[in-house]
């Protein structure tokens, strides 16, 4: 309705957004996400069946997933264009997750050895 009141608006928080997402950039990110998903499908349906039990298949999925996560967080969630303080406040705590992954991966190897020892 009141277009004149909305155009005057220069909020401090909205100020950092002027270099944000244009429609073209949004579509670019969409094609990247779609392309990576297509590669994952190609690996799962064409490459993986030819190499049963190969150890390098899963790392491919994980790397591609992390690339997708980067594009979603950086562009769709706009974090790339925020202040460095906010980026660090969000990204650094996430690194603690790596700690839990290492601890529980290690633990699960112990469990499977235990299982073999007890022949369960």
Could you tell me the two tokens for 85?
A: 């303080």
Find the shortest distance in angstroms from Cβ 83 to other proteins.
Answer: 5
Instruction: Count other Cβ atoms within 10 Å, centred on residue 75.
Output: 20
For residues 34 to 53, the per-residue mask of contacts with other proteins, x marking binding by CB under 8 A and - elsewhere, is x--x--xx-xxx--------
Choose, by CB under 8 A, the member of 95, 100, 117, 118 that binds other proteins: 100
Choose, by CB under 8 A, the member of 46, 50, 105, 117 that binds other proteins: 105
Note whether 56 binds other proteins by CB under 8 A.
no
For residues 80 to 99, the per-residue mask of contacts with other proteins, x marking binding by CB under 8 A and - elsewhere, is --xx-xx--xx--xx--x--
Contact criterion met (CB below 8 Å) for 78 and 21: yes
Contact criterion met (CB below 8 Å) for 83 and 93: no
Give the integer Cα–Cα distance in Å for 29 and 27: 5
Find the shortest distance in angstroms from Cβ 92 to other proteins.
Answer: 10
Say which residue the tokens 């603690």 belong to. 96
């Amino acid at each position: 309705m009141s277009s004149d009141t909305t155009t005057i608006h220069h909020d401090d928080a909205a100020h950092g957004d002027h270099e944000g997402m244009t429609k073209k950039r949004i579509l670019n990110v969409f094609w990247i996400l779609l392309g990576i998903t297509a590669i994952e499908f190609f690996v799962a349906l064409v490459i993986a069946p030819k190499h049963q039990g190969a150890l390098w298949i899963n790392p491919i999925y994980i790397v591609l997933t992390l690339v997708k996560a980067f594009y979603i967080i950086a562009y769709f969630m706009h974090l790339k264009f925020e202040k460095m303080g906010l980026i660090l406040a969000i990204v650094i705590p996430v690194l603690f997750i790596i700690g839990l992954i290492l601890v529980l991966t290690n633990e699960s190897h112990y469990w499977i050895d235990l299982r073999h020892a007890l022949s369960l």
